[in-house]
Amino acid sequence: MTITGTHFNYYFVCPRKLWLFANGINMEHTSELVVEGKLIHEDSYPQRSGKYEEIEIDGIKVDFYDARSKVIHEIKKTDKIEQAHEWQLKYYISVFERNGIDGVSGVLEYPAMRKTKEIFLSDVDRERISEIESGIMDVINSETCPPLINKGFCRNCSYYEFCYSTDEQP
């Protein structure tokens, strides 16, 4: 199985979401917030179409890549789960490196917030990425779905109804 940026992101957000996604239970198509995020991605930087390109490499898909300056641009709606966004982008940088593209950095962009954050990959990060990949595979290959984490951001998750519905009738 190829690990994607989505796997990396979900690993930091919620092991249950990661497990469900990796095991073919996809709820993003039912989420208005996911649709809103895609619109932000498509509409925020219309001038980039000629300068940057969306790139797919080894199972990952980056929003925009500026080949001249070797910068990956990742667009997000909010910074509420910024750690997950940072590690997703660090993973992208590491995949580029594994494919012989050195000197790559990243920029997290939150257009609705008018905020950006530069991301670089350190040697410590490279070691941590290997550990995270192993952790992702442990979650994905588990026979059972991880338990609910019951956090405030769960209400905005595309899996919310799946996780919080019950078969019991009152």
Residues 6+ away with beta carbon under 8 Å from 76: 37, 85, 108, 109, 110
According to the model, what pLDDT value does residue 105 have? Answer: 97
According to the model, what pLDDT value does residue 120 have? Answer: 97
Does residue 170 belong to any structural domain of this protein? no
Q: Which of 161, 146, 170, 167 is nearest to 10 (CA)?
A: 146
What is the rounded CA–CA span in Å between residue 80 and residue 75? 13
According to the model, what pLDDT value does residue 165 have? Answer: 82
Q: Which of 73, 36, 34 is nearest to 52 (CA)?
A: 73
Containing structural domain, residue 54? 5-162
Does residue 167 belong to any structural domain of this protein? no
Does residue 71 belong to any structural domain of this protein? yes
Provide the residue type at 40 as one letter: I
Does residue 168 belong to any structural domain of this protein? no
Structurally, how many domains does the chain consist of?
A: 1
Does residue 30 belong to any structural domain of this protein? yes
Is-contact 87 9, C-beta < 8 A? Answer: yes
- DSSP structural state of residue 50: T
Does residue 42 belong to any structural domain of this protein? yes
Q: Which of 15, 30, 4 is nearest to 159 (CA)?
A: 30
What is the rounded CA–CA span in Å between residue 120 and residue 38? 25
What tens-digit pLDDT sequence spans the chain (170 residues)?
Answer: 899 999 999 999 999 999 999 999 887 655 455 445 454 545 555 555 556 677 889 989 898 899 899 999 998 888 888 999 999 999 999 999 999 999 999 999 998 889 999 999 999 999 999 999 999 999 999 999 999 998 988 988 889 888 888 655 44
Give the domain CATH number at 109: 3.90.320.10
Beta bridge partners of 56: 61
Does residue 43 belong to any structural domain of this protein? yes
What is the rounded CA–CA span in Å between residue 13 and residue 52? 29
